[in-house]
Amino acid sequence: SIAYLNGQLLPIEEAKVPALDRGFLFGDGVYEVIPVYAGRLFRFKQHIARLENSLQGIRLPMEQTLQDWANICHQLIEQNSLNNASIYLQITRGAYPERNHDFPANPSPTIFAMITALPEVQAVPSDRDLQGISVITAEDIRWQRCDIKAITLLANCMLKQQALECGANDTILVRGGVAFEATSSNLFIVRDGVIITPPLSEHLLPGITRDFLLWLAEQHGILTEQRLIPEHELLQADEIWLTSSTKEIRPVTRLNDVTIGNGTAGPVWRQMYDHYQQLKVQLYRG
Ligand code: PLP
């Protein structure tokens, strides 16, 4: 595929970054993942607003406007002729002659972007969707600024790997007995028809899909609540979902080897699935 690196479009295999880049040496950078449906950027303003918050969070000033970021993304969509895709956009603090923790006085950031295909709109959920996924819970060993979408994902990788080695698909992260999110998605539960998700804090990423689902639920008169979810409450939930831009809404049907609900995707999930897909179809119709 064709990628973008510092102003150039080139085959991804040829996109090379110096070993002295602070992204490589320190994990000093931030990123975004932006979905594309019907060749159009989905929730683009929200993704770029979060990117700007992440950049501010690591104190890396950038001059790019919304239009500049859109141009990079549109070039990738066109060059790779993709209609349904996700764009990965990463910015690091750049490469300097020496490895030095101090921030450079005049940073020259590295901007990299690539695109990968996403599946077509599915009007009806697949058997795999309905079956849901299996998760474990584990103590959140990440840092105290999980609201920044930093590229420093070692803890997330370790926590995800822990799930795979337990024969599960993902890990719900718990701090002091409270569940916040999963390794690359936000957490929702459903109780008595109410959709519940933890409030925004430094312990979770302000998910664009999280925000979108809260809005979508409101549009359809489904009650929502933002409050802390104690770990023990997960087992009492009628439904558990994990959400992200690429996974959309993923039902969780097993938690630490205990069945959630009746072991398949629940009715509120199904409703929200339909609303989500309908919205995507509308994008195709223009
Ligand atoms: N939480 C974490 C830790 C993530 O990495 C992600 C996205 O990859 C999310 C939540 C979901 O965010 P979004 O809905 O913006 O994709």
Question: How confident is the model over 84-129, as pLDDT tens digits?
Answer: 999 999 999 999 999 999 999 999 999 999 999 999 888 899 999 9
Average pLDDT for residues 248-270, to the nearest whole number? 98
Asked which of 118-122, 129-133, 215-219 is least confident by mean pLDDT, the reply is: 118-122
Closest by CA to 173, choosing from 190, 165, 164, 185, is: 185
Active site residues: 149
Whether the ipTM is more than 0.95: the answer is: yes
Q: How far, in Å, from the CA of 149 to the mean position of ligand 1? A: 8
pTM of the predicted model as reported, rounded to 2 decimal places: 0.97
Nearest Cα residue to atom 2 of ligand 1: 184
The finding on whether 181 has its CB within 6 A of some atom of ligand 1 is: yes
Q: Which pLDDT score is estimated for 78?
A: 98
Q: Where are the alpha helices (DSSP H) in 7-103?
A: 22-26, 44-57, 66-79
pLDDT single digits (tens) 26-82: 999 999 999 999 999 999 999 999 999 999 999 999 999 999 999 999 999 999 999
Domains and CATH numbers, the chain: 2-117 (3.30.470.10), 127-285 (3.20.10.10)
pLDDT single digits (tens) 181-213: 999 999 999 999 999 999 999 999 999 999 999
Q: How far, in Å, from the CA of 100 to the mean position of ligand 1? A: 30
Sign of CA dihedral 83, 88, 94, 95: negative
Q: Which pLDDT score is estimated for 123?
A: 86
In ligand 1, the atom with minimum distance to the C-alpha of 208 is 15
Confidence bin at 283 (pLDDT 50/70/90): confident
From the DSSP assignment, how many helices (H) and strands (E) are in the chain?
Answer: 7, 16
Determine the Cα–Cα distance for residues 276 and 272; give it in Å rounded to an integer: 6
For the chain, how many residues are written?
286
Widest distance between CA atoms in the chain: 59
Determine the Cα–Cα distance for residues 174 and 104; give it in Å rounded to an integer: 36
What the block records as the tokens of 69 is 């970021």
Asked whether the beta carbons of 173 and 179 are under 8 A apart, the reply is yes
Nearest Cα residue to atom 1 of ligand 1: 185
Q: How far are the Cα atoms of 94, 234, 262, 265 from residue 271, in angstroms, in the given order? A: 45, 21, 17, 11
Q: Which pLDDT score is estimated for 98?
A: 96
The finding on whether 138 has its CB within 6 A of some atom of ligand 1 is: no
The finding on whether 171 has its CB within 6 A of some atom of ligand 1 is: no
Q: Which pLDDT score is estimated for 122?
A: 85
